[in-house]
Structure 1
């Protein structure tokens, strides 16, 4: 799915929300590795589950022609600083569902980029057959959980001792979902 670029001015930062293009693939590959290394909030360690430039080129193309996939990037100061991807299920029994996630460079936290990405995805979903969006978030990421709740996501489950972080401790994963209006 492709959307029109959106310029956002807020919290001392001007940024653009747009769909990625093929030329963004290499930057996205490097950005994902960097973001993964900045926080324990994501599922991967830096370099795990690596997506190459070619992988991103394929994803960008597939999402651009999909009726249920949404891939958006946030671009500020002439670089990509974050992205979101909402991927619809290809299985007929789950064709009404999509999985959702957000990644933002740590230095750009607090500028409202995450909220803008969530709002854009929710607007896009209204025009599709997607009726439910699901996500997972580590239980200690209270700020993200509160933001998701403000947008109508509810906790649907808890995976106990689901992950082990670098500190050697076990952490729970919260499963959240939202039915579209």
Structure 2
């Protein structure tokens, strides 16, 4: 699905949030790889990379699917973040979407993640989505305090925990919070 572009200024940083388009594919591949490598909050850390062609396919699907949404945040022609909601094809799960979000570390603190989330929630509210979930690959690692705080502020709540789910560079196991949003919908 496509949404209208919106401009924001936070702490003198000007950025826009808009739907992803096919010409973003190469930059999305690079952005996702960079975000994944900046912290241990993401799962892939150099694995399961998506190339330009892979993102073109995803963007085409999401653009034409009424229950999918792929947004990017752009600063001076540079992609700074993304969010994506993907629906489930089975009827019994048609009321919910799975959500993922990433913002370059350089742009943390400018509200980009929060604006991406608010646009997603607004889209969900107007498109019959009853539940937004962050699970398994898009769950929230217990060490990601900023994300946990943001999701709670926006009305998400913990629905469950996945214990001993990830091993980080310190060799310790960590759990993921399984979040859901169904507050205002």
TM-score past 0.5 threshold: yes
TM-score (norm 1): 0.97
Match of 1:50 in 2: 49
Structure 1 unmatched ranges of 5 or more: none
1:151 offset after TM fit, Å?
Answer: 0.8
Match of 1:102 in 2: 101
Q: What is the CA deviation profile of residues 80-127 of structure 1, one whole-angstrom value per residue up to 9, with x for unaligned ones?
A: 010000111111110001111111111001110000000000010112
**Which of 127, 150, 153 lines up with 1:150 in the alignment?**
153
Give every structure 1 segment of 4 or more consecutive aligned residues whose post-TM-superposition deviation is greater than 3 Å: none
Match of 2:16 in 1: 16
1:128 offset after TM fit, Å?
Answer: 1.5
TM-score (norm 2): 0.95
- Matched ranges for 1:73-84 at <5 A: 73-84=72-83
Across the two proteins, how many residue pairs are aligned to each other? Answer: 180
Match of 2:178 in 1: 175
State whether structure 2 residue 58 is matched by structure 1 residue 59: yes
| C-alpha distance in 2 between matches for 1:26 and 1:97 | 29
| C-alpha distance in 1 between matches for 2:57 and 2:14 | 29
Match of 1:127 in 2: 126
**Which of 137, 143, 158 lines up with 2:140 in the alignment?**
137
1:143 offset after TM fit, Å?
Answer: 1.6
| C-alpha distance in 2 between matches for 1:64 and 1:11 | 31
| C-alpha distance in 2 between matches for 1:23 and 1:175 | 33
State whether structure 2 residue 164 is matched by structure 1 residue 161: yes
